[in-house]
Amino acid sequence: MTEHGTQLAAQVTLSLVVPVFNEHDSLDAFLLRVDEVFAPQPSITLELVFINDGSTDDTLARLLERQQHDSRLRIVDLSRNFGKEAAMSAGLQIATGQIVVPIDVDLQDPPEVILQMIERWREGYEVVLAHRVSRRSDTWAKQTSAHWFYRLHNKIAEQPLPENVGDFRLMDRCVVDALLTLPESRRFMKGLFAWVGFRTTHVDYQRPERVAGQSKFNTWRLWNFALEGITSFSTEPLRVWTYIGAMVSLVSFAFAIFIVVRTLIYGIDMPGYASLMVAITFLGGLQLIGIGVLGEYLGRTYIESKRRPVFLVRRVYDPKD
């Protein structure tokens, strides 16, 4: 037994939570690999929970076709594109497995790693992270931005994020149940995964290239994603403006004393407008940045106050229906 009462039996029910958005090119390869990995594992009862996040191609049609021949597939069709974080939340809510693993359909999260995760789970761990040993499959820009994001986030957030770890992880049922109690409508899942805690370990793996398609996260979306993560788990960006304001005030006070002393000694002169314009624009820029940071937090508070659901389900396609 684990500390939270989950039976570590030889037979286990595993739910794979698979968000998909226009991934028709990757589905067949993903399902084939899953079969290759889990068909020789009679002790693992597999459930595949696909969340169609408003795909505009034939992703849903292909999933429904495959479901006719594979009763393990459960398909959650969202009413529109809500984003990966919301789709993952929908999958966690639907999944019924004793252990749950969010996984990407592009096979950059290798299904065979899950077998190593299950072994660690059987040792009594409730969360098993898939840790990337390198980021060679990413571009230089993505590697650099990810490095600085983790450094900044873990410097200012109360709960640090494990570096080079994505959504790919194994979670015991007690962990999933804890996540489902969290009420946020703006969800940064990596932060929520870390926040709930539980007994955690990791396995190392090498992330391969995508088998098909391309990433849906462009530079702008990655920037907004990083901003979401920082503002969701730290108020330091607000607090820092107190210190910036104090420093600017001290510099201004010291400069004022310098002007008074110079005037008393040398008299009044006629300075140019360049320094005045620089001071005005500099201080104006600081004020606008501060207002922008405040607006980020205020906007999130406004959205949370509406208490809208994280996602809306158009239909759940269950093979038993």
pLDDT tens, residue by residue, 12-54: 889 999 999 888 888 888 888 888 888 888 888 889 999 998 8
Closest residue by Cα to residue 92 from 101, 83, 84:
101
Q: What are phi and psi of 163, to 5 degrees?
A: -75, 145
| Residue 213 vs residues 108, 119, 167: alpha-carbon distances, Å | 12, 32, 19
Tokens 């079969």: give the residue.
Answer: 35
> Which two three-digit tokens encode residue 238?
């607000």
pLDDT at 270 over 90: no
Q: Which of 69-73, 286-290, 310-314 has the lowest mean pLDDT?
A: 286-290
How far is 252 from 235, CA to CA, in rounded Å? 27
In sequence order, which residues have a C-beta less than 8 Å from that of residue 3 and are 6 or more positions away? Answer: 124, 126, 199
Domains and CATH numbers, the chain: 12-233+311-317 (3.90.550.10), 236-306 (no CATH)
Question: Could you report the per-residue pLDDT of 75-117, keeping only the tens digit for each?
Answer: 899 988 888 888 888 899 898 888 999 998 888 888 988 998 9
> Which two three-digit tokens encode residue 201?
């370990």
Range ranked top by mean pLDDT from 133-137, 189-193, 234-238: 189-193
Query: Model confidence at 3, in pLDDT bands (50, 70, 90)?
Result: very low
This model's pTM is above 0.85: no
Query: Model confidence at 7, in pLDDT bands (50, 70, 90)?
Result: very low
* Beta carbons within 10 angstroms of residue 38's beta carbon: 20
Question: Could you report the per-residue pLDDT of 258-269, keeping only the tens digit for each?
Answer: 766 776 676 665
Q: Sign of dihedral through CA atoms 294, 299, 305, 311?
A: negative
How far is 15 from 53, CA to CA, in rounded Å? 18
